[in-house]
Amino acid sequence: MNQQKLGMFKTTFIVKRCFLNLGGNILGTDSGRFVVQRHHATHLHYDFRLEMDNVLKSWAIPKEPPSQPGVRRLAVEVEDHPVSYIAFEGTIPEGMYGAGKVEIWDKGTYTLKNRSEDKIEFTLHGEKLRGDYALIRFKGDKNWLLLKKKQSK
């Protein structure tokens, strides 16, 4: 068997055996870290970031992220950030993109439950945010809703 066919076989076996999702994270396992950075830029907002696909997938949330079930927040998808940005706190100088104070508001790990093009479901294991959440795309490419799901009994 040549190397290319062997590589395809291994990939197919891993996908079928480990139930990998579209992004390469294994469903139902600790998929990575997350961070919420409180960002005092032109307007106060919260940057919600999930470590996924070797980057920080990122959304800007105009209001504090929901800690209670049923509360929905607009989450505007922004550019991916390098994973090294997960621990950033400090001040971005005037004249630069995102100028203002950035502080870590919450951090932890998450477990990926489901991921499709228009919906990401996960469980957060943070200091402030804990429980089942979903990001649901609506109204165009960049607008999502972040919501905390009700706990099943």
Contact status, residue 92 vs residue 111, Cβ threshold 8 Å: no
For 85-133, what is each residue's pLDDT tens digit?
A: 999 999 999 999 889 999 999 999 999 999 999 999 999 999 999 999 9
The upper half-sphere exposure of residue 74, i.e. CA atoms within 13 Å in the direction of its Cβ, equals 9
Find the angle CA(93)-CA(97)-CA(101) to the nearest 5 degrees.
45
Contact status, residue 25 vs residue 112, Cβ threshold 8 Å: yes
Indicate whether 41 pLDDT > 90: yes
Average pLDDT, the chain: 84
Question: Domain limits at 60?
Answer: 23-148
| 13 backbone dihedrals φ, ψ, rounded to 5° | -60, -45
- For 131, other C-beta atoms within 10 Å of its C-beta total 16
pLDDT at position 5, please? 40
pLDDT at position 152, please? 66
Task: Let me know if residue 59 belongs to a domain.
Answer: yes
For residue 77, list its beta bridge partners: 59
CA distance linking residue 144 with residue 55, whole number of Å: 19
pLDDT at position 97, please? 86
Integer Rg of the chain from CA: 17
pLDDT at position 51, please? 97
Task: Let me know if residue 94 belongs to a domain.
Answer: yes
Indicate whether 18 pLDDT > 90: no
Task: Let me know if residue 13 belongs to a domain.
Answer: no
Least confident of 1-15, 48-62, 70-84, 114-128: 1-15
- For 46, other C-beta atoms within 10 Å of its C-beta total 20
How many domains does one find in the chain?
1
Task: Let me know if residue 1 belongs to a domain.
Answer: no
User: Which percentage of the chain shows pLDDT scores above 70?
Assistant: 79
Task: Let me know if residue 15 belongs to a domain.
Answer: no
